[in-house]
Amino acid sequence: MANLLYVTCFLKPIHRSRGLSLGYEFLEEYLRWNPRDEVHVLDLHRDNIPRIDQDVLHAWERISAGESCGSLSEDERRKISRIWRLADQFIACDKYVFITPSWNLFFPAEFKTYIDAVTVPEKSFRLTQERAEGLLAGELKKSLHIHASAPFSYGNERDLSAPYLRSVLNFLGVTNQETVLLTGCDDPQQGPSSEHGDARRRLLDLALRF
């Protein structure tokens, strides 16, 4: 039995998003083949994801200096406890499914905030005198990223979302990765899309071996 973390970051409802609808179809097919697996769902626009702010940095500094969590302020304890729970959940999972849209050549801020919350020193990575090292290597974790890019171009500039997430996951040690990119309009009400059909077939096939 495996633990799968299913993370979405869309403001639109599922019937207005090809990305979300494909993610849901993938999950249904995956659970058909893996009915005993446990799925943990995060909606980053709904669930509480604390930012790394002054309270969090201050708390980390004090804990690193040897102080107990009991000496922190109420806000510091609340924020850092939530971040630690998110990081522990991420570390405990075996598989990850991320479903994201593109906003101005990158992710929505909520998704970057989540990545910051799970990329935590001495949990998912550690700092040495020479460099930072991911701590999830060798754990046979795998990820799937379904990303809906903008239906228009930004001149010669490219969307940085998928390369960024690949780099972060590689650093942490999640090197078994699949990426499905959706170009064009994410709204299915805008008409049929041959790319949607191709992506759907690929995802349903992937569900058999993910």
CATH of residue 153: 3.40.50.360
Select, from the ranges 110-119, 153-162, 194-203, the one with the highest average predicted confidence (pLDDT): 110-119
pLDDT at 186: 81
- List, for residues 110-131, the tens digit of each pLDDT value: 999 999 999 998 899 998 888 9
Its domain, for residue 47, covers: 3-207
pLDDT at 192: 61
Angle at 193 between CA 188 and CA 176, to 5 degrees: 95
- List, for residues 55-71, the tens digit of each pLDDT value: 999 888 888 888 788 78
Sheet architecture: strand order including 3-8: 38-43, 3-8, 95-101, 142-148, 176-182
Count of domains for the chain = 1
Q: Which of 51-60, 157-166, 187-196 has the lowest mean pLDDT?
A: 187-196
Q: Which pTM was predicted?
A: 0.94
Name the residue with higher pLDDT: 183 or 14: 14
CA 56, 62, 68, 74 dihedral sign is: negative
Select, from the ranges 71-85, 95-109, 127-141, the one with the highest average predicted confidence (pLDDT): 95-109
- Confidence category of residue 202, pLDDT binned at 50, 70, 90: very high
What mean pLDDT, rounded, does the chain reach?
A: 92
Beta bridge partners of 180: 146
